[in-house]
Amino acid sequence: MIPIKKPLVATIICCCFLTGCWDKRELNEIAIAVAFGIDKSDEGFRVSAQVVVPSAISSDKGAEGTPVLLFQADGETAYEAIRKMTKQVPRKIYPGHLKLLVIGEEMAREGIWDSLDLFVRDWEVRPDFSVVVARDRPASDILRVPTALDTIPANKLFDMLENSSDNWSEVHKMTLFELLADISSDGKDAVLTGILSSADADSNTGKEATEEIHPSARLYFDNLAVFEKDRLVGWLDAEQSKGFNYVAGNIKNTVETISCPEGGSVAIEVTKSDAKIKASFSGGNPEMEIIIKNKGNVGSVQCGLDMKKPESIHILDNLFEKKLTGIIEETVKETQSRGRSDIFGFGQTIHRSHPDKWKSLKGEWDEHGFENVPVKVKVEMNIRMTGTLLNPL
């Protein structure tokens, strides 16, 4: 047997890691898309791509020209539409840095599964980008609006969605992976945050719009879109969106304003919120229980409650629990009255905890099961801190 020297083995192993980047592309060969919009068109799909202009954002020269460009094309499929953009763009559209996918409301109401197929199959796409629905307008209108504070609108919207999702209870950030999981799950339907524009026909949506103190065209996130499988079927209002996020365990930090017994109000910062959904059976029929446990601090006081007294904190705890219980009960009631869209995942909870019983319920859950299941709501609040100032100024 011929002995093999260790240096030779080490050299061979190192060579295996020096094969080069066979699929690399130079920056001047690609057009980096940071946002896509998908709308309905006569051909089938209209895809809009927000593409970065490297020369306009280069750090070694002043900002010159528009930092992004918007390209559009129609096709029988979204994939075809993007490939058709080569008639307008001298470089291949590269989706590896995608931040945001905006789906027009009209397209969302027809179904979004075919729109998502492209992004799931393309190995260049990272599925951690956010997905939102353009409310009452095409997605392309959203991607046309420039933004202040960040030269690239998609980056600003991505950060704004993340910030709002972390600090305000009416908004929820949903990635492609999470959306696909909800759409394909038994006993669970999806929700997506809506994005709106204040722009109208006379609004300025050019680069100079970002130089205005109060731009005529603004983008903002508001309320949640309700889906049945992959089709948009309605919208939750602000309070219902808040109620859903509490039940879904999406609350990281938010503020609730509580009315005091003798007038005025107190703002409570919710610093932690844990949600649990339990399924039980009575007489062979399912029953659901929602338990929400919260912790928080007093943010501001505009009423006569004496924050030095423990009973005042107890009063606020009770008032918070009563208010949030009402919001959640109303949200569940309204959602059940629409039928079919189990956005809370009641069916999924039954499936996990009582798989044998779910087999008999699954077939009619969307038609009759979800809308008829009794739901109990229990909310707990523990206010721990009142701030450095005990009473209002």
CA separation for the pair 228, 261 (Å, rounded): 41
Whether the Cβ atoms of residue 190 and residue 182 lie closer than 8 Å to each other: yes
Q: Which of 63-72, 77-86, 131-140 has the lowest mean pLDDT?
A: 63-72
Instruction: Give start-end residues of each CATH 3.30.300.210 domain in the chain.
Output: 238-393
β partners of residue 224: 193
Q: What is the torsion angle, in degrees rounded to the nearest 10, for the CA atoms of residue 39, residue 43, residue 47 and residue 48?
A: -90
Give pLDDT, residue 202.
46
Comparing 150 with 210, the larger pLDDT belongs to 150
Give pLDDT, residue 129.
95
The full DSSP string for 367-393 is: IIIHHH--EEEEEEEEEEE--S--S--
Considering the entire predicted model, what is its pTM? 0.87
Mean pLDDT of the chain: 88
Whether the Cβ atoms of residue 158 and residue 132 lie closer than 8 Å to each other: no
Q: Residues 111-135: pLDDT tens digits?
A: 999 999 989 988 889 888 999 999 9
Most confident of 51-55, 88-92, 144-148, 332-336: 332-336
CA separation for the pair 162, 129 (Å, rounded): 11
CA separation for the pair 268, 209 (Å, rounded): 36
Q: Which residues of 12-47 are buried (b: 16+ CB within 10 A; e: fewer)?
A: eeeeeeeeeeeeeeeeeebbbbbbbbbbbbeeebbb
Q: Residues 333-378: pLDDT tens digits?
A: 999 998 889 999 999 999 999 999 999 999 999 888 999 999 999 9
Q: Which of 5-14, 135-144, 218-227, 322-331 has the lowest mean pLDDT?
A: 5-14
Comparing 305 with 377, the larger pLDDT belongs to 377
pLDDT at 193 > cutoff 50 = yes
Give pLDDT, residue 149.
72
pLDDT at 22 > cutoff 50 = no
CA separation for the pair 341, 222 (Å, rounded): 20
Reported CATH class of domain 238-393: alpha beta
Q: Tokens 């606020």 correspond to what residue?
A: 316
